[in-house]
Chain A
Amino acid sequence: MSQTRFAESHEWVRLDGETAVVGISDHAQNALGDVVFVDLPEVGREVEAGESVAVVESVKAASDIYAPIAGTIAAVNAALVDNPGQVNSDPMGEGWFFTITPRDAGDIGKLMDADAYARHAEAGH
């Protein structure tokens, strides 16, 4: 499994074989608070980098989740429908949202690494 990269909009992405797994960062889940509902994209949908593809609802607000890279939605984490709290309890693991077949796997490497993202999050973005 490759290194995890992060988008400015707080999604993480990690190449796992042919597809890239996407979720939201620990910083993001903490800022959202208790997640109660996740609206996942349709499998097969073609998405552009930065496109709003999912919605995560906490007790107090709804927030968009953006595709960190361009590609095609390959799978969604159906377990989140019944157990959206996984986004809070294990954001970087069981709380993943969807996988993308990248248009260009090289796009992942252009995103922030963990250290750069930590500085980005700490700066209050």
Chain B
Amino acid sequence: MADTESLLETPLAGLHREIGGRMVGFAGYAMPVQYPAGIIAEHQACRAGAALFDVSHMGQAELRGEGAAAALERVTPAEIQALKPGRQRYALLMNESGGIIDDFMVANLGDRLFLVVNASRKAMDFQEIGAALPAGVSIVPRPDRALLALQGPGAEAMLAPLAEGNVAAMPFMGVLESPVAGVPALITRSGYTGEDGFEIGIPAEGAEKVARALLAAGASPAGLGARDSLRLEAGLPLYGQDIDETTSPVEAALTFSLGKRRRIAWDFRGAERVREELDSGPKRLRVGILPDGRQPARAHTEIALGGSTIGEVTSGGFGPSLNAPVAMGYVARAHAGDGTALELMVRGRAIPARIAPTPFVPHRYKRTAGASA
């Protein structure tokens, strides 16, 4: 308990404690891992209605100046220059050897780009990006801002009456600047649960007002525990567990984030390794894994086949929506096919499992504005 004293707090720390959040240390912040409802109930509330997560620990920054998009392409293989105003994209921050420094979201706000990066990596990210920028382009961290994630099929109906702008018309990965509960907000239709939903960036001093309005509208508070089980069922990697500076975008099955133009020009950091792996195949691949039975296989569980080690689980736990254990990890490419039977070595016993396509729970993003998903 004593070590939580040295942790940073988000602007919602008081609210978390008031509603019974169980605070734990995460990436240097005191964050709620769960509330009294518990992880399974919070997870299910997100799949059935809407859950509210405080993700203010994440790094937020603006990229300003003429040529900001081209400048950002120096450190990411994503297509940034063609990202339209009012649109957001998932991107990877690469190192020279083709590993992943971080994964992040980038939105085009017309006169500037807006980045959201992982809490555990933000200092390094801002340093890396800043060092790569030409004169006239600057990165401006925004630690003065909070970030809320409202996720679930009920999110639109809860947010719409509180937002001045038309959030219902936003497509998946759309961006809208609009007040929410009277607080100026940067809203994106995105998230980390596989569900439809929004991330709402607001000034720190307005965070509690917006959070209380969303809770009053019926959102269930949800903590890091449910966030992890939701993203795992959705097949979404977690930086530091499933991807890191040694994993490439090809190994991590994140090639969708490489821009087409970039894959012709090969003008990004680490392009040599990415190109080689796309041509010849990577040594290992990130795959989904479904263990038989009910026993979870956690991160660092050995994956075996016929008595030989073929890989390692990088994230594993229990999927409340599947009512079964779920995992992801890396296996040698020869054994990465869907349906491949393998064994997970848990406490000295071999648990039968099979490779399965992700997401384990289908994504329900709002692909077209105005259409029912």
* A positions within 8 Å CB-CB of B: 33-34, 36-37, 39, 55, 57-62, 81, 84, 88, 124
- Interface residue from A34, A39, A62 paired with B39 (Cβ < 8 Å): A34
A59 touches B1 (CB 8 A): no
**CB within 8 Å for A36 and B38 given contacts A55-B347, A60-B317:** no
Nearest-Cβ distance from residue B228 to partner chain A, whole angstroms: 7
A60 touches B295 (CB 8 A): no
B220 interface hit (Cβ, 8 Å): no
Nearest-Cβ distance from residue A56 to partner chain B, whole angstroms: 11
For A36, what are the chain B residues with a Cβ–Cβ distance below 8 Å? 40, 294, 296, 318, 325
Best-surrounded residue of A36, A61, A62, A81 (most CB of chain B within 10 A): A36
A37 touches B295 (CB 8 A): yes
B185 interface hit (Cβ, 8 Å): no
B34 interface hit (Cβ, 8 Å): yes
CA distance A36 to B38 in the complex (A): 12
B225 touches A124 (CB 8 A): no
For A33, what are the chain B residues with a Cβ–Cβ distance below 8 Å? 34, 38-39, 225
- Interface residue from A37, A39, A55, A81 paired with B318 (Cβ < 8 Å): A37
Nearest-Cβ distance from residue A81 to partner chain B, whole angstroms: 8
**CB within 8 Å for A34 and B38 given contacts A60-B228, A60-B317, A124-B1:** yes
Residues of B206-243 at the interface with A, using a CB-CB cut-off of 8 Å, are: 225, 228-229
A59 touches B225 (CB 8 A): yes
CA distance A81 to B293 in the complex (A): 10
For B38, what are the chain A residues with a Cβ–Cβ distance below 8 Å? 33-34, 88
Nearest-Cβ distance from residue B158 to partner chain A, whole angstroms: 25
B1 touches A57 (CB 8 A): no
- Count: A-B pairs, CB below 8 Å: 44
Nearest-Cβ distance from residue B303 to partner chain A, whole angstroms: 17
CA distance A58 to B39 in the complex (A): 9
For B43, what are the chain A residues with a Cβ–Cβ distance below 8 Å? 59
For B229, what are the chain A residues with a Cβ–Cβ distance below 8 Å? 59
For A57, what are the chain B residues with a Cβ–Cβ distance below 8 Å? 295-296, 318
CA distance A84 to B320 in the complex (A): 13
CA distance A88 to B38 in the complex (A): 11
For B325, what are the chain A residues with a Cβ–Cβ distance below 8 Å? 36-37
Residues of B37-68 at the interface with A, using a CB-CB cut-off of 8 Å, are: 38-40, 43
Nearest-Cβ distance from residue B328 to partner chain A, whole angstroms: 16
**CB within 8 Å for A39 and B347 given contacts A33-B39, A34-B38, A34-B39:** yes
CA distance A124 to B33 in the complex (A): 18
Nearest-Cβ distance from residue A95 to partner chain B, whole angstroms: 15
CA distance A34 to B35 in the complex (A): 12
B294 touches A37 (CB 8 A): yes
B298 interface hit (Cβ, 8 Å): yes
CA distance A37 to B298 in the complex (A): 13
B40 touches A34 (CB 8 A): yes
- Interface residue from A39, A55, A59 paired with B317 (Cβ < 8 Å): A59
Nearest-Cβ distance from residue B346 to partner chain A, whole angstroms: 9
What 1/0 mask marks residues of chain B from 182 to 201 whose CB sits below 8 Å from any chain A CB?
00000000000000000000
CA distance A88 to B39 in the complex (A): 13
What 1/0 mask marks residues of chain B from 280 to 295 whose CB sits below 8 Å from any chain A CB?
0000000000000011
**25 A-B Cβ contacts within 8 A?**
A33-B34, A33-B38, A33-B225, A34-B38, A36-B294, A36-B296, A36-B318, A36-B325, A37-B294, A37-B295, A37-B296, A55-B347, A57-B296, A57-B318, A58-B39, A59-B39, A59-B43, A59-B225, A59-B317, A59-B320, A62-B296, A62-B298, A81-B294, A88-B38, A124-B1
For B347, what are the chain A residues with a Cβ–Cβ distance below 8 Å? 39, 55
